[in-house]
Amino acid sequence: MLRIFTQLTALLAVLMIQGPLWAEDALPIRASNGLALTPPMGWNTWNKFQCNINEQLIRNMADALVTSGMKAAGYQYVLIDDCWQGARDAHGDIQPDPKRFPSGMKALGDYVHGRGLKFGVYSDAGVMTCAKRAGSQGHEYQDAAQYAAWGVDYLKYDWCYTGKRNAQEAYGVMADALRATGRPIVFSMCEWGTAKPWLWARNTGNLWRTTEDIRDNWDGKERWMHGVIDIVDMNVGLAKYAGPGGWNDPDMLEIGNGGMNDNEYRAQFSFWAMLAAPLIAGNDLAHMDEKTAAILTNADVIAVNQDALGRAGDRIAKMGEGEIWARPLLDGRSAVILLNRSTAAVTMTVNWAQLGLAEDANADVFDLWSKKLSKSVKTRFSAEVQPHGVVMITVQPR
């Protein structure tokens, strides 16, 4: 009982500390829509399939989410990104591409719901989407009503072709339109961090992109796309803006898409848990090898991501190509990442004092990837970290 009370008090304290972040906004203050109290988990078409999508692919992926064990691990949302749209009809109502989605979106939503999953679509705050399909500008309430009629549970809302629109105002209109439907719809803001949404988007949306697009590489920029570790760098310092109902979104997972090795993919999954990021898989779930499935369904790493305290982690130390990141958990443990950015294995150390514990404290250490438990570890923990790799542990003070 005392434990539950302590946990509730901790949660309340976080909510109170974070309150003023949105209360000071000049534009309308929205109450929480009550959704996404932990980061959303699901699958999205874009990273693997871009515009090569159709209703059969979506059904196959919904099936694969169930048969692969992903649903049991917590993945819930089946999200159709850009390119599902056809033209607007005579009433201005948006319709799906009739060749690719001949059965219509209501039927597809029903199929997804029939698998015990939730259904999401994509639109854009401008006149066109990034792939030049119809955008929602000027049709926000009409589009939101259409999505609700289809049974949509999640909307990703992009920022292409928005001209001089003000992001806070534009996302606010769609936020209000979604609420006016009366249907609970998670609102994913894909504004790429341009207008610093972490400063104002709490309660406008449930998640906001903090960067331009991710690519299936460890590092380096190509056009507007960035490597995984570069995206991690861009999220340093943003943890304090996230919490239950409103999350930083460093873009979707690339795990299983073939451009990185398993150390790098484990690093992406570990960091997305550390950052309290949405876990949106982006690979071909119907043709996924065992290693990919094992990474995406690591229950201990997912538990860190979904921790009910909802405090995101941040970098606490940087020494050359080594970094230490930490995230407090509801039960008093800390989740810690030792990151090795170099191309050779190195031994790395975290001192308990760096986690706010007494220098000579004793703690139980659990490695979330090797599953090794080390009991009563005094003062510090050291481990060998693979190149472009992480060791991710939880630290339980005794």
- Residues assigned a catalytic role: 158, 213
Q: Phi first, then psi: what are they for 394, rounded to 5°?
A: -110, 145
Length of the chain: 398
Whole-number minimum distance, CB 134 to ligand GLA, in Å?
A: 13
Nearer to ligand GLA, 46 or 325 (CB): 46
Work out which of 131, 234, 294, 316 binds ligand GLA, going by CB under 6 A. 131
- Cα 143 to Cα 93: distance, rounded to the nearest angstrom: 7
Whole-number minimum distance, CB 19 to ligand GLA, in Å?
A: 30
Whole-number minimum distance, CB 191 to ligand GLA, in Å?
A: 9
Whole-number minimum distance, CB 86 to ligand GLA, in Å?
A: 16
Stretch that binds ligand GLA, among 9-17, 99-107, 126-134, 171-179 (CB under 6 A): 126-134
Other C-beta atoms closer than 10 Å to the C-beta of 375 total: 11
* Rounded to 5°, angle at Cα 49 from 106 and 172: 60
- By the rule CB under 6 A, 128 interacts with ligand GLA: no
Nearer to ligand GLA, 143 or 213 (CB): 213
Axis-axis angle for helices 105-114, 140-150 (nearest 10): 50
Calculate the alpha carbon distances from 60 to 48, 112, 256, 375 in Å. Answer: 14, 10, 17, 44
- By the rule CB under 6 A, 127 interacts with ligand GLA: no
Nearer to ligand GLA, 82 or 143 (CB): 82
Nearer to ligand GLA, 124 or 264 (CB): 124
Work out which of 55, 82, 153, 254 binds ligand GLA, going by CB under 6 A. 82
Whole-number minimum distance, CB 39 to ligand GLA, in Å?
A: 17
Q: Map the footprint of ligand GLA across residues 173-212, applying CB under 6 A.
A: 190
- By the rule CB under 6 A, 254 interacts with ligand GLA: no
Whole-number minimum distance, CB 47 to ligand GLA, in Å?
A: 8
DSSP class of residue 253 equals -
**Cβ–Cβ < 8 Å for 361, 334:** no
Which residue bears the tokens 């030792």?
Answer: 338
Kindly write out the interface string for residues 137-166 of this chain, putting x where it contacts ligand GLA by CB under 6 A and - elsewhere: ---------------------x--------
- Cα 187 to Cα 185: distance, rounded to the nearest angstrom: 6
Enter the tokens of residue 51: 């515009």
Other C-beta atoms closer than 10 Å to the C-beta of 344 total: 8
Work out which of 64, 70, 71, 81 binds ligand GLA, going by CB under 6 A. 81
DSSP class of residue 30 equals P
Enter the tokens of residue 82: 């850009």
Enter the tokens of residue 172: 């606010």
Nearer to ligand GLA, 213 or 307 (CB): 213
Other C-beta atoms closer than 10 Å to the C-beta of 329 total: 18
Stretch that binds ligand GLA, among 91-99, 123-131, 321-329, 330-338 (CB under 6 A): 123-131
- Cα 24 to Cα 250: distance, rounded to the nearest angstrom: 25
Catalog residues that contact ligand GLA under the rule CB under 6 A: 46, 81-82, 129-131, 158, 190, 213
